[in-house]
Amino acid sequence: MKNLIIYAHPNSDSLSHFFKQTIVESLQESGQEVEIRDLNKIDFNPVLSLEDMKGQRMGKVAAEVQKEQDFITWADQIIFVYPIWWTGMPAIMKGYIDRVFSYGFAYRYDQGVQKGLFTGKKAIIVNSHGKSKEEYEAIGMDKALALTSDTGIFTYCGLEIQEHFYFDKADKASSENSAEWGNQIKSLLKENTMVV
């Protein structure tokens, strides 16, 4: 399976970085192909410009966007790794989606009916956040996150979500927590390998 990891976190000592490394090592051990797009490292420009918007209407995108679209086209499975900041994804990840998941590439409308164009591709989302699961459930934030990201972005574009991990109280995570979360990710990747 061809795996594309889209990663957003500037700190190489972060929990998100640990998750990314765990995923890379697990996939490589099972002999799968892996490409990593570290958005901070490649200094991806997240700002959707007027020029971008005009180009998208004509089916043209900037060279840097085309490069990312080529990676997505290549992939069988896309793994998104990013923290939840202010109840959403980091700006660089949101900007990546704004610019790369363009009309005619990620979705389109056929006679007024929306159609996701990533059909046949799988997705795994790995998030961490500081609040507890119980706090998010109490205020409905768990449902809001699933609605705005899973429904509003990923399945909207036709991706088949295998799992969306939400690792909570991440700012207070112990090494035991991290190891357990890493094992959950490895277990899912192993299951996916056996299915393919």
Task: Please write the tens of the pLDDT for every residue from 77-109.
Answer: 999 999 999 999 999 999 999 999 999 999 999
Output the six-digit token pair for 10. Answer: 């500037």
Characterize 90-105 residue by residue with b for buried, 16 or more Cβ atoms within 10 angstroms of its Cβ, and e for exposed. bebbbbbbbbbbbeeb
For residues 105 and 117, the answer to whether their CB atoms sit within 8 Å is yes
The pLDDT score that the predictor gives to residue 57 is 84
Give the Cα separation of 146 and 164 in Å (integer).
9
- One-letter amino acid for residue 6 of the chain: I
Would you say residue 73 has pLDDT above 80? yes
Q: Which of 90-99, 101-110, 123-132, 187-196 has the lowest mean pLDDT?
A: 187-196
pTM value?
0.94
| CA–CA distances in Å: residue 127 to residues 45, 65, 96 | 22, 24, 17
Give the Cα separation of 16 and 88 in Å (integer).
15
